[in-house]
Homo-oligomer: A and B are copies of this chain.
Amino acid sequence: MALVIQKFGGTSVANIDRIKHVAGLVAKTRQAGDTVVVVVSAMSGETDRLVKLAHAITEFPDEREMDMLLSTGERVVIALLAMSLRALGFDARSFTGRQVGIITDSTHTKARIERIVADRIQAALDKGIIPVVAGFQGISEHDDVTTLGRGGSDLTAVALAAALKADRCLIHTDVDGVYTADPNLVPSARRLAKVSYEEMLELASLGAKVLQSRSVEFAAKYGIPVVVKSTFVAGSGTLVTKEDRDMEQVVVSGVTGDRNQAKVTFIGVPDRPGIAARIFGPLGQANILVDMIIQNVGQGDLTDLSFTIPRADVHKAVDLSNRIAKDIGARSVEVKDQIAKVSLVGVGMRSHSGVAARMFETLARERINIMMISTSEIKISCVIEEKYLDLAIRALHEAFGSGKG
| Contact of A86 with B65 at beta-carbon distance under 8 Å, contacts A54-B79, A99-B143 already known | yes
Contact B53 A16 (CB under 8 A): yes
Contact A64 B93 (CB under 8 A): yes
Tell me the smallest distance from the CB of A63 to a CB of chain B, in Å: 10
| Contact of A72 with B62 at beta-carbon distance under 8 Å, contacts A57-B19, A57-B83, A84-B57 already known | no
Which one, B64, B66, B94, contacts A68 given CB within 8 A?
B94
Contact B58 A84 (CB under 8 A): yes
A397 part of interface (Cβ distance < 8 Å): no
Report the contact-size class of chain A (Cβ under 8 Å from the partner).
35 or more
- A16's nearest neighbour on chain B, judged by CB, is B56
Whole-angstrom CA separation of A217 from B78 in the bound complex: 35
* Copies of this chain in the oligomer: 2
Whole-angstrom CA separation of A284 from B66 in the bound complex: 46
Tell me the smallest distance from the CB of A247 to a CB of chain B, in Å: 43
Whole-angstrom CA separation of A94 from B75 in the bound complex: 17
Tell me the smallest distance from the CB of A173 to a CB of chain B, in Å: 23
Tell me the smallest distance from the CB of A41 to a CB of chain B, in Å: 15
- A120's nearest neighbour on chain B, judged by CB, is B143
Tell me the smallest distance from the CB of A123 to a CB of chain B, in Å: 11
A80 part of interface (Cβ distance < 8 Å): yes
Contact A57 B87 (CB under 8 A): yes
Q: Identify 9 new A-B residue pairs, CB closer than 8 A, beyond the known A16-B53, A58-B84, A65-B94.
A: A53-B80, A58-B87, A64-B94, A65-B86, A68-B78, A68-B82, A69-B80, A72-B76, A75-B75
Interface residues of A (CB under 8 A from B): 16, 19-20, 50, 53-54, 56-58, 61-62, 64-66, 68-69, 71-72, 75-76, 78-80, 82-84, 86-87, 93-94, 96, 99, 120, 143-145
A-B pairs with lowest CB-CB distance, top 7: A69-B79, A72-B72, A68-B79, A58-B87, A16-B56, A65-B79, A65-B82
